[in-house]
């Protein structure tokens, strides 16, 4: 199993969509929200994703296809 840290950025039309829930349902990925800030018209979430590397890759490609911006992260998400 692999682990990856990412940041999702949601624009206004996507803030209320259950993208993280769907990611966990459509793919064999465990999502762990580490930080988040969500407002009326924009939001971001820092996640740890656990799963097989190819499954995480497919899941992130799907998230990108929804219009959510996906940024890879390194280091300790609690510290930074």
Domain definitions of the chain by residue range? 2-73
Please say whether the structural domain 2-73 has been given the CATH code 3.30.565.10: no
What pTM was computed for the model?
A: 0.87
Tell me the C-alpha to C-alpha distance, in Å, between residue 2 and each of 19, 44, 49, 73. Answer: 21, 23, 8, 14
| Structure-model confidence comparison of residues 52 and 79, the more confident one | 52
pLDDT value at residue 79 = 45
Cα–Cα distance, 20 to 36 (Å, whole number): 12
pLDDT value at residue 40 = 86
Please answer whether residues 64 and 11 qualify as being in contact, where contact means their C-beta atoms are separated by less than 8 angstroms: no
Q: Quick one: residue 75, left, alpha or beta (phi over 0 = left, psi -120 to 50 = alpha)?
A: left
| pLDDT tens digits along 38-78 | 998 899 999 999 999 999 999 999 999 999 999 999 755 44
């Amino acid at each position: 199993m692999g682990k990856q840290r990412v940041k999702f950025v949601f624009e206004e039309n996507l803030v209320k969509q259950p993208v993280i829930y769907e990611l966990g349902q459509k793919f064999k990925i465990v999502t762990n929200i580490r930080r988040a800030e969500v407002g009326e018209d924009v939001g971001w979430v820092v996640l740890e994703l656990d799963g097989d590397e190819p499954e995480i890759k497919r899941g992130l490609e799907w998230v990108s296809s929804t219009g959510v911006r996906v940024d890879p992260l390194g280091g300790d998400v609690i510290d930074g």
